[in-house]
Structure 1
Amino acid sequence: MTRLSISSGGGGYPSRPVVLDNGAGWCKAGFAGEEDPVAIVPNCVARPHSGKQRCLVADQVLGCEELQRLGIRRPADRGYLISAELQKEIWDRIFRTLLKVRTSDTPLLLIEPPFAVPSIQKLTDELVFEEFGFCSLFVADAASLTHLYLQHRNPETMLSRSRCSLVIDSGFSFTHVSPVVYNFTCNAAVKRIDLGGKLLTNYLKELVSYRTVNMMDEQWIMEDVKEKLCYCSLDVASDMEIARKAGAENYIQCNYILPDGVHYKKGVVKNPEIVPLAYKHLSTPKKQSDVYSPVLKEEKLPATGTQELTLTNERFLVPEMLFHPADLGMNQAGLAECIVRSVNACHSDLHPLLYSSIILTGGTTKLPGFRERLELELRPHVPAEYGLKIYAVDDPIIAPWRGGSLFAVSENLESCSVTKSEYEELGSLRCRRRFFNC
């Protein structure tokens, strides 16, 4: 673990601040000033179907060997907290066991989605101050922290000089398009699409269950299939033609071996060398090791006893929802249209700056071809005299956390935070006003 190179004011805290990005799909938690979080764990509690094991919490889910029909319960629905008891159990595992912090001496920087209603904010504050007893709290949004991180990593770019960017955060529950102006998120111009990684996985489950094997109860396995095999097509019509072909000409078709608990504890791609062929034309193709769990060369695939999923056009039809949700009967704008609406909600002088500084973050943006496809969709909507530049950060899942880590070691954290005594005196609603942006 390395420390971020940034000057800090030190503050008056007895312990280093904890930074928590409490995503609906994954929790990222660690200490201020570090390059990477200590823990990246599922924000869920799971129970194996056999019932032989007790409930698995957070990081324990990653070590589970019984993935078939794994029962998953999440504390968040559509990105917002709905079960404080479940969230408390997961946070307790993170703070007590993984981070091992004494919360009474520790400030917390919490990253949460925008536009949470006051009742949800109150629920979160009760967890932070009453259940865990943190000494102070600062609440931030992912967009401004992602901007801060990329500005820190690229100090000579237009993004850093103008202090403006357009952050596209496509995560587990939804996709936000957020203009960041002078390092603050402009809430009045934020646009949201109710499409994220969970809905893509659900659509993949429906397609696969209709065509091959019933996978409607296999949320965890199908998320793995999506991450390893799906991609954003740059020419849907051409890929559809290829997917219809038989034999070796159909390089889009891939087979995924389902875990059986005997030969395979986790699912693997049977023909991994074929996976990158579908997006070999991309300017930044994914490494082969990033898209599948490799089968060792000396390991022989069992001739019988394994069950496989065969995917063809599902690989690119599922991410297609992000760009054309109306084609599937959803009353939602596509991502390119959503971006234009967000930019148009800002002052016209900012338009060229925002279009030239688009940042991608969130796990869904890791799909191969996402950046190239977005540029292809967006270019016709952008005036010809404007430049269009899209930044893909190193690891979009933890980019907001890294921005929070930078901010948490600055001298601004202490002055912006709400202390436990202020919360007890003023209550959640009045304290929350301190975190409101323009």
Structure 2
Amino acid sequence: MPSAYVLDNGAYNIKVEHSHAAEPKLIPNCIMKAKSEKRRLFIGDQIEECRDASGLFYLLPMNKGLIVHWDLQKTVWDYILSKDCCPANFAETPCIFMEPYFNFASIQEGVAEIFFEEYECQSFLRIPTGDLAEYHYRKLNPTAPCCLVIDTGYSFTHVAAYINGKREPKATKRINVGGKVLTNHLKEIISYRQLNVMEETFVMNQVKEDCCFVSQDTKADFAKCRLKYPQNDIVREYILPDFTTLRRGYVQTLDQPPVVEQQKLRMNNERFSVPEILFHPSDVSIPQIGIAELVQHCVESCPEEARSHLYRNIVITGGTALLPGFVDRLYKDVRALASEEYDIKITLPKK
């Protein structure tokens, strides 16, 4: 079976590789400038070569999940397709390009023009990420007539219902909450309470990935955070990197020996109050419903005979879904909203 070149153009990471590969390469979809090396631009994963990654200045080709700076995006694609990253022979290999739902026609035309004219692509398929997630789920579960795909990424979260392999347009919805909102909110909280980190997006995104989790009972966890350690088993210390002896920070409990020479953050209720935005966007003045309500709204927009199948076949994709506790909390909230007659099953594919 011939392979295809698959490029998932995410706003935070681009996932790229030939279809026969075991796993994709993750390339940051950005160009970065560093204070320590002002004459050089770091494209994608070249940031690993930077000696001091503090105070990085980001040049982002995408805003709110849509391509807005074509020169930057083309530079990132040029690097990805170069021999230093993941080259492709488009004369023989078809290209599958994944895009978000509701992409503008002008952006679709621009992408097609670049790949056909600049990269001389012979076969090109542009498709929403959720369509392929549903296709893969249906291959593994051939008896499932319906599927509900939740794609929670960097810029926003989509929920889309599929019935007999076809997406229902009226049951495809979006909320403007994703990993970027969480990282920015975490930066604001830490900057107000402890240390000015408003320019440390790279580091604070790592703090979010290493420290944060989705609470199953926010009231109980907030009450626990008011206690002292060890009764408070949520509080942690995050040792910040200095980019000389330590490239990435790490989490430790309070009973471990103190690290004197390194800066550190005390992470308490921030660990779960930040991801709570996914379920209650109004907490940060975003006038939209949370993911659980969005799931219910999409299912209720479908014919009644399909609803039980949709609740039983919920599949999640996107990097934000990797937060610990996300699936359990989503199940709990959807279970509380859905009618008792419906069974609920949520699948998070392995990385």
> What is the TM-score when the length of structure 2 is the normalising length?
0.95
- The 3-state SS of whatever aligns with 1:360 is strand
Q: Tell me by how many angstroms 1:50 deviates.
A: 2.0
| Residue 215 (structure 1) aligned with residue 197 (structure 2) | yes
Report matched runs for 1:57-72 at 5 Å: 57-72=43-58
Aligned match for 2:119, one of 132, 152, 169: 132
* Pairwise CA distance, 1:64: 2.9
* Partner residue, 1:254: 236
2-structure distance, mates of 1:79, 1:330: 17
Q: Deviations over 1:206-226 (max 9, x none)?
A: 111110001111111011000
d(CA) in 2 for partners of 1:382 and 1:358?
13
Q: In the alignment, what sits opposite 1:356?
A: 312
Question: In structure 1, what is the equivalent of residue 95 of structure 2?
Answer: 108
Amino acid at match of 1:115: F
C-alpha deviation, 1:53, in angstroms: 5.6
Whether 1:231 and 2:218 are equivalent positions in the alignment is no
SS in 2 for 1:190: strand
Residues 26-49 of structure 1, C-alpha deviation per residue, up to 9 Å, x if partnerless?
011111233322x21111111111
C-alpha separation in 2, matches of 1:24 and 1:59 = 14
- RMSD between superposed Cα atoms in Å: 1.8
Cα distance in 1 between the residues matched to 2:37 and 2:49: 16
**Equivalent residues of 1:67, 1:266 under 8 A apart:** no
Correspondence for 1:204: 186
What amino acid maps onto 2:321 in structure 1? T
Which of the residues 173, 184, 199 maps onto 2:155? 173
How far apart are 1:312 and its partner, in Å? Answer: 0.3
* In 1: Cα distance, 2:52 partner to 2:155 partner: 25
Give per-residue Cα distances to partners, 1:93-143, cap 9 Å, x unaligned: 111222222333332110100111111112211221122121121111111
Aligned residue in 2 for 1:414: none
- The one of the two structures with greater contact order (alpha-carbon pairs below 8 A, sep at least 6) is 1
Partners of 1:387 and 1:137 lie apart in 2 by: 39
| Equivalent residue in structure 2 for 1:54, among 40, 57, 69 | 40
Which has a greater percent of helix?
1
Contact 1:45–1:72, Cα closer than 8 Å, also in 2: yes
Distance (whole Å) between structure 2 residues aligned to residue 49 and residue 393 of structure 1: 39
Alpha-carbon contact 2:145-2:309 (below 8 Å) kept: no
Equivalent position to 2:167, from 162, 175, 185: 185
Matched, 1:95 2:81: yes
Partner residue in 1 for 2:131: 144
Q: Which amino acid aligns with 1:163?
A: P
Separation in structure 1 between the aligned mates of residue 339 and residue 255 of structure 2, nearest angstrom: 41
What percentage of aligned pairs have identical amino acids?
36
Q: CA deviation at 1:273?
A: 9.2
For the 8 Å contact 2:238–2:264, the answer to whether it is kept is: yes
The amino acid across from 1:32 in the alignment is S
Q: Does 1:76 align with 2:62?
A: yes
SS at 2:51 equivalent: coil
- The Cα shift of 1:250 comes to 1.6
Quote the offset at 1:52 in angstroms: 4.8
TM-superposed CA distance for 1:17, in Å, is 2.1
Task: Give a deviation string over 1:352-385, Cα, whole Å, max 9, x none.
Answer: 0000111111011111110111111111221111
CA spacing shift, 1:34–1:248, aligned 2, 3 Å: same
Aligned partner letter, 1:21:
D
Conserved? CA contact 1:43–1:75, under 8 Å: yes
The whole-number CA distance in structure 1 between the counterparts of 2:7 and 2:145 is 24
2:332 is the alignment partner of 1:387: no
Counterpart in 2 of 1:307? 263
Report what 1:117 is aligned to: 104
The answer to whether the 8 A contact 1:166-1:354 is kept is yes
- 1:392 and 1:102 map into 2 onto residues whose CA distance is 33
Equivalenced residue count is: 350
The offset of 1:73, in angstroms, is 1.2
Q: CA deviation at 1:262?
A: 3.1
Q: 2:333 aligns with which of 353, 371, 377?
A: 377
**More deviation, 352-361/95-104:** 95-104
C-alpha distance after superposition, 1:190-231 (max 9, x if no partner): 010100000000000111111000111111101100001100
Residue 135 to residue 338, structure 1, CA distance change in 2 (3 Å): same
Query: Pairwise mapping of residues 265-414 of structure 1 onto structure 2 (< 5 A)?
Result: 265-271=247-253, 302-304=259-261, 306-395=262-351
Moved more, 245-254 or 331-340: 245-254
Q: Taking structure 1 as reference, are residues 145 and 302 closer, same or farther at Cα in structure 2, changes over 3 Å only?
A: same
Q: C-alpha deviations, 1:281-335, integer Å up to 9, x for none?
A: xxxxxxxxxxxxxxxxxxx87533x211111000000011111112332201111
Tell me if structure 2 keeps the 8 A contact 1:360–1:391.
Answer: yes
| Aligned-pair CA distance for 1:270 | 3.5
SS at match of 1:169: strand
Q: Are 1:24 and 2:11 an aligned pair?
A: yes
Corresponding residue number in structure 2 for 1:43: 29
Partners of 2:234 and 2:323 in 1: how far apart?
A: 15
Structure number having the greater strand percentage: 2
Task: Tell me the SS of whatever aligns to 1:384.
Answer: coil
Q: Which runs of 5+ in 1 are unaligned?
A: 1-7, 11-15, 275-299, 396-438
d(CA) in 2 for partners of 1:87 and 1:344? 38
Separation in 1, partners of 2:118, 2:273: 44
Secondary structure of 1:96 counterpart: coil
1:68-103, Cα deviation, whole Å (9 max, x unpaired): 111111111100011111111111111122222233
Structure 2 counterpart of 1:92, one-letter code: D
In the alignment, which residue of structure 1 is the partner of 2:226? 244
